Chains A and B, each alone.
Chain A
Amino acid sequence: MRAFIALLAGTIFGAGLALSGMVDPARVRGFLDLFGTWDATLAFVMAGALLPMAIAWRLQPRLPRAASGDHFALPSTRRIDVPLAVGALLFGVGWGIAGLCPGPAIANLALAPLAVLPFLAAMFAGMLLHRLWAAQR
């Protein structure tokens, strides 16, 4: 049941990425390209996505459990530290040069699998590198 709900959520998410044009790296790059022919679409996508989520966050504290009966498993860390900042900066540079972040990259397996495969392979390699590096410390 939980996996089915997650599959449903992933499918809606993927549909949203495709409908909004966010699966198109050129369009995402266009948003980040302030000094080119700027493409504001991503800002509208953000506005659309934040709206239902903001309502859900208002409801969540009043609910004892999720609909599945599971307890809420939510991030509790509040520390703003160096890893958060450096990680976000590295991610931003990668996002800028490729025009891809994890969601659209994975959704592109259905639209442009060959073109996105090198990015995805590198992305998972980067995640693995982080794990190995974190284990060393």
Chain B
Amino acid sequence: MSALFANAAPGMGFLGGLLIGLAGVVMLLGIGRIAGVSGLAAQAIGITGSDSRAVALAFIIGLPVGAALIAAARPIAVTFPSSLPVLIIGGLLVGFGTRLGSGCTSGHGVCGLSRLSPRSMVATGLFMAAGFATVAAMRAFGWV
């Protein structure tokens, strides 16, 4: 790999990505639903209405189960670079923003982009741009 990818894990990233996409396929062709985590999480805890809370809850419970299965087979690095107040502000923004914008990285990013949904293309472009700009600003202020 070139120096551009010196820091990256392209192989495992692509493989893991295939699994994420496969999960989206199982939801779509299996039960006719979008694998959008923010929407399903809101349905699972009853913040928004759902025709089947059990479905949403089951998907959400699966997320840590799947992560635990991989962690049992190989060490998974998890480092939290942010302080507690930053994590809390980040959580509030992610929670409010994903509800207002009707989706997150999975719903808009994976399911919407692959569907060529114009809404999801705009949303993904904006949250990616905001993410890049935010970390660039943090770097400029010396917070990274």
Contact = CB atoms under 8 A, between A and B. Distances in A.
Contact of B102 (A8, A15, A75): A75
B19 to A, nearest CB: 3
Contact of A29 (B30, B57, B76, B81): B81
B32 A16 contact: no
Given A40-B10, A79-B119, A91-B94, A18 B66 contact: yes
Interface residues of B, number: 116
B78 to A, nearest CB: 5
B70 to A, nearest CB: 4
Nearest to A113: B64
Contact of A9 (B35, B82, B128): B35
Interface string A27-54: 1011011111111111111111111111
Contacts of A66: 28-33
Contacts of A9: 23-24, 26-27, 30, 35, 59, 62
Given A47-B14, A74-B32, 16 more contacts: A2-B54, A2-B55, A6-B62, A7-B61, A9-B23, A11-B63, A14-B68, A36-B135, A66-B31, A88-B101, A90-B96, A95-B127, A111-B64, A122-B91, A122-B92, A123-B95
Contacts of B52: 2-3
